[in-house]
Each structure stands twice: as structure tokens, then as C-alpha cells.
């Protein structure tokens, strides 16, 4: 189909598209010119990010850890960070540039974003301390968990076995309570107050 139909709306201007269309694809499409070093990134991170994410991107309190957790994804409590989990560096650049710092988003220039992403890579021991990240070498960085994702396979692994007429009687010999929420007692009090 060709454009039009109702003739509603107006053509977007190039400046408008440039202002809003800032996403970066895994193949680097959308990355602007620029570069930034680990050293610059360390200073910028300390000023803009460390209050929540820690000086070494290790996280403060309940705020997200950006570094660490290598090899923990199959553990009981995996530590999922940019280094241990994220498949694409494009996502880190895009997200930092668009939505961080929390509460002051879209305040970082392209060069500053390159530098902060370089520092996050360094915090994850994925680059050396003299590393400079740029549009040119962006795709050379290897993300450890790049192959860690599969497309939703529920149709193959789950739906077949669970699309069956279910049991209605004598479905099991015995039933025991194996866990109780009140043992943990982490539900907010007001949740139970209305019982009366």
C-alpha cells in the first residue's frame, strides 16, 4: 500500500526524526560519531552514576549491579550484569544515552556515553584500562553472554505436553503443605488488615 488513505497527520521533518529516533541496533546502526576512554568514563561515572551503581559499577543497596556475576547464570541466585548477561553492547550504549542517569536522562553527550560504556566494560574486565571506545571499534567488543539467549521455545517445550485433558478425580494419593507464606512474613501489614 502507498502512503495516505485518510490524509491525516503531516510529514515528519528530518530534524524531528533525528531528535527522537536515537535507538542503536545490535549491528551498530544508529551509533553517532564519537569516542570515549575508560579514564574519562571513570570520572564521569563517579560524578553521574556511582551514587547508585557504586564506584566500581558493583551496585549500591538495592540499585542495579552493572559489573560482576561472571559464570553465575546457572546458579541458585544469578548475578545478571552488563558483563555477565547482556548480549549486545548496543543496548548498553542506547540505554545509558537515552534513559540514564535516573532522574536526569538525556543529559549525556555521545562522547560521554562512549566513555561511560567504556568504563562499564572495564569494570567487567572486558577491556584494558587504556581502552578507547568509538563507533569504529564498537562491534569488536565481545560480550560474554552474546550466545546465551534462545527465542521463546514454549511451543516446543511446554504447549505440547500441557494441551491434554486434565485429571479430574483420584489425581494424587496424598497432598502435603510444603511451604507457607506466613513463615517468611514479608507481606505488608495493610494487606491483612481488611480481614475484619
Partner 1 sequence: MADTSDLTPSRRAFLKGTAAGIAGAAMGAGAARAAGPDPLITDIQPFAQGLGDGVDATPYGLPIKFEDDVVRRNVEWLTADTISSINFTPIHALDGTITPQGCAFERHHSGAIEMSKGEYRLMINGLVDKPLVFTYEDLERFPRENHVYFCECAANTGMEWAGAQLNGAQFTHGMIHNMEYTGVPLRTLLQEAGLSGDLEGKWVFVEGHDASSNGRSIPMEKALDDVLVAFKANGEALRKEHGYPVRLVVPGWEGNLWVKWLRRVEVTDGPVESREETSKYTDTLADGTSRKWTWVMDAKSVITQPSPQAPITHGPGPMVISGLAWSGHGAITRVDVSKDGGKTWETARLAKPGEKMALTRFYLDTVWDGEEMLLQARAMDETGYVQPTKAQLREVRGENSIYHNNCIQTWHVKTSGEAENVEVS
Residue appearing with cell numbers 549525556: 108
Residue 130 Cβ vs partner 1, minimum distance, rounded to whole Å: 28
Q: Whose Cβ is closer to partner 1: residue 142's or residue 170's?
A: 170
Residues 15-54, interacting with partner 1 (CB under 8 A): 16-17, 20-21, 23-26, 52
Q: What's the CA gap between 104 and 10, in Å, rounded?
A: 31
Q: Which stretch binds partner 1 (CB under 8 A): 9-17, 41-49, 115-123, 127-135?
A: 9-17
Residue from 47, 55, 129, 158 binding partner 1 (CB under 8 A): 158
Q: Is 171 in the site for partner 1 (CB under 8 A)?
A: yes
Residue 1 Cβ vs partner 1, minimum distance, rounded to whole Å: 5
Name every residue whose Cβ is closer than 8 Å to that of residue 73 and which is 6 or more positions away in sequence. Answer: 80, 84, 85, 145, 148
Residue 7 Cβ vs partner 1, minimum distance, rounded to whole Å: 8
Residues 71-130, interacting with partner 1 (CB under 8 A): 73-74, 76-78, 80, 82, 85-88, 90-91, 94-95, 98-99, 102-103, 105-106
Which helix H or strand E contains 132, and what residues bound it? strand 132-134
Q: Which stretch binds partner 1 (CB under 8 A): 33-41, 110-118, 122-130, 157-165?
A: 157-165
All 3 cell numbers of residue 46? Answer: 563517579
Residue appearing with cell numbers 514454549: 154
Contact at 8 Å (CB) between 124 and 81?
yes
132 strand-pairing partners: 37
SS (HEC) of 32-61: CCCEEEHHHHHHHHHHHCHHHHCCCCCCCC
Contact track, partner 1, 132-151, x by CB under 8 A: ----------------xxxx
Residue 92 Cβ vs partner 1, minimum distance, rounded to whole Å: 8
The residue length of the chain stands at 196
Q: What's the CA gap between 35 and 115, in Å, rounded?
A: 7
Q: Which stretch binds partner 1 (CB under 8 A): 1-9, 36-44, 111-119, 127-135?
A: 1-9
Contact at 8 Å (CB) between 115 and 96?
no
Amino acid at each position: 500500500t502507498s502512503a495516505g488513505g485518510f490524509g491525516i497527520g503531516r510529514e515528519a521533518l528530518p530534524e524531528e526524526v533525528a531528535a527522537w529516533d536515537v535507538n542503536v541496533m545490535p549491528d551498530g546502526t544508529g551509533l553517532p560519531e564519537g569516542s570515549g576512554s575508560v579514564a574519562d568514563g571513570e570520572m564521569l561515572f563517579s560524578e553521574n552514576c556511582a551514587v547508585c551503581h557504586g564506584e566500581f559499577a558493583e551496585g549500591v543497596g538495592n540499585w542495579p549491579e552493572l559489573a560482576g556475576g561472571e559464570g553465575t547464570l546457572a546458579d541458585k541466585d544469578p548475578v545478571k550484569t552488563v558483563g555477565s548477561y547482556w548480549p549486545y553492547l548496543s543496548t548498553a550504549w542506547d540505554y545509558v544515552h537515552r534513559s540514564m542517569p535516573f532522574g536526569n536522562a538525556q543529559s549525556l553527550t555521545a562522547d560521554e556515553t562512549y566513555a561511560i560504556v567504556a568504563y562499564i566494560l572495564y569494570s567487567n574486565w572486558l577491556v584494558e584500562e587504556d581502552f578507547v571506545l568509538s563507533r569504529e571499534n564498537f562491534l569488536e567488543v565481545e560480550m560474554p553472554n552474546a550466545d546465551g539467549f534462545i527465542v521463546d521455545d514454549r511451543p516446543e517445550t511446554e504447549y505440547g505436553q500441557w494441551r491434554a485433558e486434565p485429571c479430574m478425580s483420584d489425581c494424587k494419593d496424598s497432598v502435603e503443605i510444603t511451604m507457607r507464606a506466613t513463615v517468611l512474613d514479608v507481606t505488608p501489614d495493610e494487606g491483612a488488615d481488611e480481614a475484619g
